[in-house]
């Protein structure tokens, strides 16, 4: 990635996000361990590039005023959880349970730990991924709730950055996706398919990019064929990165415009762009993408309550706040959900090791 086009990158302990815990009960007892979303967000392309492509005049480097307390309450409590599943094995819940007497616990629990968030799967081991996925989808189905799963094992992940890794090659990735689908079951599930795999693909040659996009298109088809109730969303970066038309062209190559493989796009994963900016950007991407009219977008609102830092800081920046409550009912045309894909409090690498839970950072986000 060239220096002038700062980008979103995934960083941190990519291995070990999901692990099968052997306890003598066999593969069916395998369950996810901690599930950090180890992603750092750099700021965006030059504002002029975004302005030229977006229907809104917003700039990713514009100072975003801090909302008042009344505005914050509206930002975070406008909608209920909307049937989303809260996985009980998150790092924040583990911390809350282990620190009942900490003066920060009550606020972190009520504003972060009690909310449903995504579960990341980054271990490319094919033999264990089905049981790991099933350990999330089965209890979610039993509760009549919708889990959010992040598939994160594409070869060449993070363009060789701090979260480099993934499957050894695309053939292995195809097998991993096949195994992943075996754990989906038949209930409703949201799949966030490979953050950064499309927006951050500049490091690939034309042939490598075409092969990756073909693998992503196949992944969507396999996921939706295995579970017709699965909703699969593709990487649209965020409103401060690529122009909408440029991102839509890439998404089309990856199968995101086909109803056989896609339900639409996701944006702002681990970033801080405002919900209003993301809404306008996502609608512009969807318009340029074409495809069936039912395609929609999901927005990561986990840390965008105060918008993006004016100085472009991306590593656990101060002054950020949690955003809208996760929900599948946004009331906004073509916006299918607000989700917490990156769990607030899991560090970008400055407040602690990347992907690990930082109670001080969580408290700051919950308080701001």
How far is the CA of 57 from the CAs of 54, 127, 169, 247, 281, in angstroms? 7, 48, 41, 18, 11
> Catalytic pick from 235, 300, 316, 348?
348
**Is 277 assigned a catalytic role?**
no
Q: Which residues pair with 192 in a beta bridge?
A: 150, 233
Sheet holding 119-121, edge to edge: 119-121, 148-151, 189-193, 230-235, 264-267, 296-300, 335-339
How is residue 340 written in tokens?
A: 């917490």
How is residue 306 written in tokens?
A: 């105060």
**Is 316 assigned a catalytic role?**
no
Which ranges in 206-343 belong to alpha helices (H)? 206-226, 244-253, 275-289
d(CA 150, CA 94): 20
> Catalytic pick from 196, 277, 288, 316?
196
**Is 263 assigned a catalytic role?**
no
Q: What angle do CA 256, 260, 264 make, to 5 degrees?
A: 35
> Catalytic pick from 158, 263, 316, 364?
158
The candidate with the shortest Cα–Cα distance to 337, out of 167, 56, 135, 85, is 85
The residues assigned a catalytic role are 158, 196, 348
């Amino acid at each position: 990635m060239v220096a002038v086009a700062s980008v979103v990158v995934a960083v941190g302990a990519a291995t070990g996000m999901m692990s099968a815990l052997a306890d003598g009960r066999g593969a069916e007892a395998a369950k996810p361990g901690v599930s950090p979303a180890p992603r750092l967000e750099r700021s965006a392309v030059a504002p002029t590039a975004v302005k030229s492509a977006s229907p809104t005049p917003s700039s990713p480097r514009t100072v975003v005023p801090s909302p008042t307390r009344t505005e914050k309450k509206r930002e975070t409590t406008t909608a209920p959880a909307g049937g989303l599943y809260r996985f009980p094995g998150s790092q924040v819940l583990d911390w809350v349970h282990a620190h009942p007497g900490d003066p920060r616990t009550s606020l972190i629990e009520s504003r972060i730990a009690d909310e449903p968030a995504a579960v990341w799967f980054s271990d490319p081991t094919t033999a264990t991924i089905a049981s790991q996925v099933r350990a999330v989808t089965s209890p979610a189905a039993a509760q009549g709730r919708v889990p959010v799963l992040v598939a994160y094992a594409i070869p060449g992940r993070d363009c060789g950055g701090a979260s480099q890794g993934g499957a050894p090659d695309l053939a292995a990735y195809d097998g991993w996706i096949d195994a992943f689908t075996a754990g989906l079951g038949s209930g409703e599930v949201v799949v966030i398919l490979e953050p950064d795999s499309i927006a951050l693909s500049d490091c690939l040659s034309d042939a490598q990019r075409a092969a990756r996009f073909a693998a992503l298109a196949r992944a969507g088809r396999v996921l939706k064929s295995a579970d017709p109730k699965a909703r699969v969303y593709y990487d649209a970066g965020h409103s401060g990165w690529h122009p909408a038309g440029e991102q839509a062209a890439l998404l089309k190559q990856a199968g995101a415009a086909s109803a056989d493989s896609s339900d639409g796009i996701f944006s702002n994963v681990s970033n801080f762009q405002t919900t209003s900016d993301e809404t306008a950007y996502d609608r512009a991407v969807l318009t340029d993408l074409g495809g069936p009219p039912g395609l929609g977008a999901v927005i990561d609102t986990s840390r965008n309550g105060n918008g993006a830092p004016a100085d472009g800081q991306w590593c656990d920046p101060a002054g950020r706040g949690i955003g809208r409550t996760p929900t599948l009912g946004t009331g906004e045309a073509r916006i299918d959900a607000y989700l917490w894909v990156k769990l607030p409090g899991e560090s970008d690498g400055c407040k602690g090791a990347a992907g690990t839970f930082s109670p001080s950072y969580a408290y700051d986000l919950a308080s701001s």
